[in-house]
Structure 1
Amino acid sequence: MARRRKTEDAVSASALSQMGVCERLVVFEHLQGKRPTPAQKAALARGLRAHRQFASEGASEAARRGRCFTATHVFGEGPETQVLRRFRDRYLRPTRAGLLLILVYYRLAPSVCRAMERWPMTRSAVRAVIKPLVWLATCLFADQERSRASG
């Protein structure tokens, strides 16, 4: 049995039923376009507000979980980002000064990421600043693993 393909020339059942009610309305909407009512415009605005709120809550939830904004923006979800997260969780979070540093970072990092989006050339400069931090954290973890293995 052959399947029917929906073509662009096909008319929906709703349009057919509407043609039976008011052919002039169908012709008018075809020529002038359909215009939303004030109630539809208000509903659309409410939906867009709810969507923005949902998106911002999701972003703030990611920040609460401890996303490495800048590292993720520069390196993606690669090993560099994982090393920096591990360093943050193991060395910064347990100390008061470390927590303060994390809070300052969470305030500033989204602006840095927006700047990198606006000016892509800054991404390589930020990467050059972060790379030594990744190297230091990696060395610190390697030393820690060696001392654990020997002791």
Structure 2
Amino acid sequence: MNKNSSKKTPPVAASDVGRAAFCPHFLELKQQGHTPSKQAQYLMKQGSQAHADFNQSITRAKSKDKRCYIASYLYGIDDPRTESLRQFRDKKLLPHKAGRFFVSAYYRTSPFIITLAQKSSMINKLLNTAINGFMTKIKDLNNNKNKGDS
């Protein structure tokens, strides 16, 4: 049997690689069975909490996404109809891969659509009719859901 194949080195966890970037001797010390000092453990705990806080703030910022270009153009950024469409996006579209694809395509194309609507009253009317029709469908879906809950 070959000397090199008798013992396999276990894979290194990504978090350990990160720690090794901070302390180049970390992996060697861990392999030798050394444990971090109390002060190092305290500092690692503080660092982990800072990372968790940062990640939570990013998640909160994402959930308060104010973009809804076409509705903001038609109704205003703080209009209840615009907020209703944002909620539809967040609750119904974003949880699904196809919904995320649709939202991404919408964000890429809607500024162009708004530019066209600003230049053409006919396109503006069509856009208004389409969004109002969509709003009606959303209200109908919500009303039917609420009737089924009773």
Give TM-score, length-normalised by structure 2: 0.52
Alpha-carbon shift at residue 99 of structure 1 (Å): 0.2
| Contact persistence 1:72–1:81 (CA under 8 A) | yes
Q: Bigger radius of gyration, 1 or 2?
A: 1
Letter aligned with residue 130 of structure 2: V
Tell me how many residue pairs correspond in the alignment.
Answer: 88
Q: Which runs of 5+ in 2 are unaligned?
A: 1-60
Q: Percent identity?
A: 26
Structure 1 residue 66 displacement after superposition:
4.4
- For 2:74, the equivalent position in structure 1 comes to 74
Aligned to 2:125, the other structure's residue is in SS state helix
Deviations, residues 93-119 of structure 1 (Å, cap 9, x unaligned)? 100000000000000001111112222
The code of the aligned residue for 2:70 comes to: T
| Helix, strand or coil at the partner of 2:129 | helix
For 1:78 and 1:124, the matched residues in 2 are separated by 19
Higher relative contact order (CA 8 A, sep 6+): 1
Q: Hey, what does 2:117 align to over in structure 1?
A: 116
Instruction: With the length of structure 1 as denominator, give the TM-score of the two structures.
Output: 0.51
CA distance in 2, matches of 1:147, 1:131: 24
- Where does the alignment leave 5 or more consecutive residues of structure 1 unmatched? 1-60
Displacement of 1:143 after TM fit? 2.0
* Conservation of the 8 A alpha-carbon contact between 1:93 and 1:99: yes
Instruction: Compare 95-104 and 66-75 and name the one that shifted more.
Output: 66-75
Residue number in structure 1 paired with 2:104: 103
